C-alpha cells in the first residue's frame, strides 16, 4: 500500500503520539495527502534563540525535550530583526530599508506590513536648546498582536508597540502606513480577547481599545492591578485576560513573610459586563511561558515534558557568552524555583553580549502550521 493511501484515522493515531512539533512537521512533509489529512495540533511553545548574521536557520529551544532545533528561513526573511510574534507568525524588519513583513517560519507564507513608523524629534545641542534641530527617524517595533491569522487578509488587524515611546500603532493587512493609537499612557503590553484589543499600562491599568470601521479609535480605562510589580506580563487565555507580575527575586523568601515578592496571576472576569480581576492561586494542570524582555506569553495544558502549575521564565543570557541561556522554572505549589540551561553551538561563542545585535531576541513562540 502506498503512503498516500493511508487512511486519515490512522494518520490521526500517529499524530496523537507525536509530542514534538518537529516530528509533526516531518509527518506533514511526506506527501500532499498526509499534509491535508493530519489534524491540527497544539504543541509546547518554543523559545526563539538569537540568530547570527548571514545564518539562514532559525533556532528554537524546545522545553519538551530540552533540545535545540533549527529550521531554514525563507530567503526574504533572513538577516532581519525580530519585532515580535503572534499566532505562530513572526514580525521581521529590514534594518536598512525599515520594511516589515509577517512570516510563518513553518509554512514560509509571508505578508508585507507597512514600513516602521517615522517620528519627528527636536534634539538639543550642548550649547543650548535653541541650538538644536528637528530630525526624523524610524521607530522600532518590539511587540505585535494580531486579531486573527494573517491568512484572514484584511480581517487581520496588527497592533504594535513602539519601543522608544511605549505607544501603540495598528494596521490592517494591505495598509500602506501605520495608524497611531494616542493612549496618553506608557504601554507595557497588548492582548486581543473577546474581539477587542486591550492594553496594559506601566502602572498596571487595563485599557479597552475599540477600533471603528472608519479607522477611529476609542479608549476606555477599566481596572488597575492591585499589586505592584517590577514587570507585568499580559496575555489572553481561554477567552480571558491574564496579568502576571514577576519580581525577579527568589519567590516566597521575604523576611517580612510578604509573599507579594513572588509571582502573582490575575484573571479577568466579565469582559463585557464590567471588567474585574480575581487572583489565581494555581494554574492547575497548566504551564505558563513568559520572557523577561517581552510582555506577552502563552499557557499550555498538560504540556509534554514540562512541569504543571509552573511558570517558565526566559531571562537574558549571562556569563557574557552567546550560546548559553537560562530559564527559571517557578513552582506555584511550593514556591521553589530552579534554573535550566539552554546551550547551542554558535560562531559567536565567547563574544561579549553587547557585540551581538540580536542578543535580545529571546521570546516564546507557539508554532502554527496552517
Domain count, the chain: 2
pLDDT at residue 137, as a whole number: 54
Higher pLDDT, 185 or 118: 185
Same domain, 23 and 54: no
Same domain, 19 and 111: no
Please, what sign has the CA dihedral across residues 12, 15, 21, 23?
Answer: negative
Q: What domain range includes position 11?
A: 1-41
- Residue 298, beta-bridge partner list: 289
Residues 226-278 have pLDDT tens digits of 888 888 999 999 999 999 998 755 444 444 444 445 689 999 988 877 889 99
Q: At residue 290, what are phi and psi to the nearest 5 degrees? A: -140, 165
Same domain, 5 and 112: no
Q: Indicate whether 370 belongs to any domain.
A: no
Which of these ranges, 59-63, 168-172, 197-201, has the smallest mean pLDDT?
59-63
**Closest C-alpha among 106, 90, 109, 110 to residue 29:** 106
CATH number of 254's domain: 2.120.10
Same domain, 19 and 94: no
| In the chain, % of residues over pLDDT 70 | 81
Same domain, 5 and 105: no
Q: Could you give the CA distance from residue 243 to residue 265 in angstroms, rounded to a whole number?
A: 6
The model carries a pTM of 0.84
Residues 278-331 have pLDDT tens digits of 999 999 999 999 988 788 899 988 888 899 999 999 876 554 445 678 899 999
pLDDT at residue 338, as a whole number: 93
Residues 340-362 have pLDDT tens digits of 888 776 655 555 444 444 445 58
**Would the pLDDT of 28 be above 70?**
yes
Q: Indicate whether 59 belongs to any domain.
A: yes
Same domain, 213 and 342: yes
Amino acid at each position: 500500500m502506498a503512503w498516500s493511501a493511508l487512511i486519515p484515522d490512522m494518520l490521526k493515531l500517529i499524530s496523537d503520539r507525536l509530542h514534538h512539533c518537529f516530528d509533526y512537521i516531518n509527518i506533514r512533509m511526506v506527501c500532499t495527502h498526509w499534509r491535508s489529512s493530519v489534524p491540527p495540533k497544539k504543541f509546547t511553545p518554543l523559545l526563539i534563540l538569537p540568530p547570527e548574521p548571514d545564518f539562514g536557520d532559525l533556532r528554537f529551544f524546545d522545553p519538551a525535550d530540552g533540545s535545540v532545533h533549527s529550521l531554514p528561513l525563507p530567503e526574504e526573511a533572513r538577516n532581519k530583526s525580530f519585532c515580535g510574534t503572534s499566532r505562530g507568525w513572526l514580525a521581521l524588519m529590514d534594518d536598512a530599508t525599515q520594511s516589515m513583513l509577517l512570516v510563518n517560519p513553518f509554512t514560509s507564507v509571508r505578508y508585507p506590513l507597512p514600513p516602521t513608523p517615522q517620528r519627528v524629534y527636536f534634539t538639543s545641542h550642548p550649547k543650548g536648546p535653541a541650538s538644536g534641530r528637528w530630525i526624523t527617524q524610524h521607530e522600532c517595533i518590539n511587540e505585535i498582536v494580531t486579531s486573527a491569522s494573517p491568512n484572514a487578509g484584511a480581517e487581520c488587524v496588527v497592533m504594535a508597540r513602539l519601543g522608544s515611546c511605549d505607544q501603540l500603532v495598528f494596521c490592517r493587512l494591505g495598509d500602506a502606513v501605520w495608524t497611531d493609537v494616542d493612549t496618553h499612557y506608557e504601554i507595557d503590553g497588548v492582548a486581543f480577547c473577546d474581539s477587542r484589543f486591550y492594553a496594559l499600562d506601566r502602572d498596571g491599568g487595563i485599557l479597552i481599545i475599540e477600533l471603528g470601521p472608519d479607522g477611529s479609535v476609542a479608549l476606555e480605562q477599566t481596572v488597575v492591578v492591585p499589586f505592584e510589580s517590577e514587570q507585568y506580563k499580559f496575555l489572553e487565555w481561554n477567552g480571558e485576560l491574564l496579568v502576571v507580575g514577576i519580581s525577579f527575586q527568589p519567590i516566597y523568601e521575604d523576611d517580612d513573610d510578604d509573599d507579594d515578592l513572588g509571582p502573582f496571576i490575575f484573571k479577568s472576569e466579565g469582559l463585557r459586563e464590567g471588567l474585574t480581576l480575581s487572583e489565581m492561586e494555581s494554574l492547575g494542570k497548566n504551564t505558563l511561558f513568559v520572557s523577561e524582555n517581552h510582555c506577552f506569553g502563552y499557557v499550555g495544558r498538560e504540556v509534554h515534558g514540562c512541569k504543571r502549575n509552573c511558570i517558565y521564565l526566559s531571562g537574558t543570557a549571562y556569563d557574557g557568552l552567546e550560546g548559553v541561556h537560562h530559564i527559571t522554572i517557578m513552582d506555584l505549589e511550593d514556591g521553589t524555583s530552579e534554573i535550566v540551561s539552554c546551550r547551542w553551538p554558535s560562531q559567536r561563542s565567547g563574544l561579549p553580549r553587547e557585540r551581538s545585535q540580536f542578543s535580545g531576541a529571546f521570546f516564546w513562540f507557539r508554532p502554527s502550521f496552517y
